[in-house]
Amino acid sequence: MWSQIERFDSGWVGITICLGPKEIDKLIDALKALKCGKIGHFHFRSNELGGEAGIADIEISLKGPRQPDNLTIE
């Protein structure tokens, strides 16, 4: 897996994540486990925390019923 942060002049950031074929299958399995309640969350984690700052961790979990939406899937 590969990731990159893009910092916009507005202060907002974009995150790019590129997956390999086996990682796609692992992501699908993790999403299915999350959906059916087998797990409460999962992470994308960096395996290189040295050097230039980047993305250390992304946690994926289910949104609560009172949490507002602030992203969409396109």
Give the per-residue pLDDT at 50. 74
The CA distance from 59 to 41, in Å, is 7
Strand bridging mode 13-18 / 2-7: antiparallel
Tokens 């980047």, residue? 54
Give the per-residue pLDDT at 38. 97
List of residues 6+ apart from 14 with CB closer than 8 A = 5, 6, 8
Q: What is the pLDDT of residues 5-29, one digit of tens each?
A: 999 999 999 999 999 999 999 999 9
pTM, to two decimals: 0.82
Give the per-residue pLDDT at 54. 82
Encoded amino acid at 36, one letter: C
Strands of the chain (E only): list them.
2-7, 13-18, 41-45, 57-61
Give the per-residue pLDDT at 52. 78
* Over residues 35-43, mean pLDDT: 96
